Structure 1
């Protein structure tokens, strides 16, 4: 193993931009509190992820990655403000519920599907 590879493995969690970068990207559309509520953790956890001081684990990691997918898919078609409007506004495809609330309630797949449809069909 090269010294470069060894050094990369010793880096602090998130130092290479992985989860810290993801949380920062999500943060363009949502506050730390909203991210925390959506993925089911405390706001302090989200702040630690963003700072690279910790990494999400288990169900929170999966939810964070799903949330990142949703925001990235919406960003393909909408401005940052448009993404915020879609996440906080009511959606007919979700029985007139708000996507962010549906996601936080554990119905992530419904929101992932909606984001994919909006990306693919505008």
Structure 2
């Protein structure tokens, strides 16, 4: 099969691109690989990049769950940093046996999960 066994990029489409883009920069402090008036690509240390795109519609209903998560070694510190930066963030909760995480919401209501992996 010509499709490669890896994920290349994760896309998030944003209606209020300018405001939401700044929120992502503030919350995550990731390195910017490229940026324009209609997109920004954040370079990740490992795995796929995160790309924010200007939506081509006037309204997007956010999903009621996160579709990926950012790994953290210290979910308590991550939770507190989100709160200190003024983000809407849910309490820390367990996910399965060895994972714990918290959801943070971007200005458009997209749910992003920050999670520990536990012992492997």
For the criterion TM > 0.5, the same-fold answer is: no
**TM-score normalised per structure 2:** 0.27
Q: Give the number of the structure whose residues are more often helix, by fraction.
A: 1
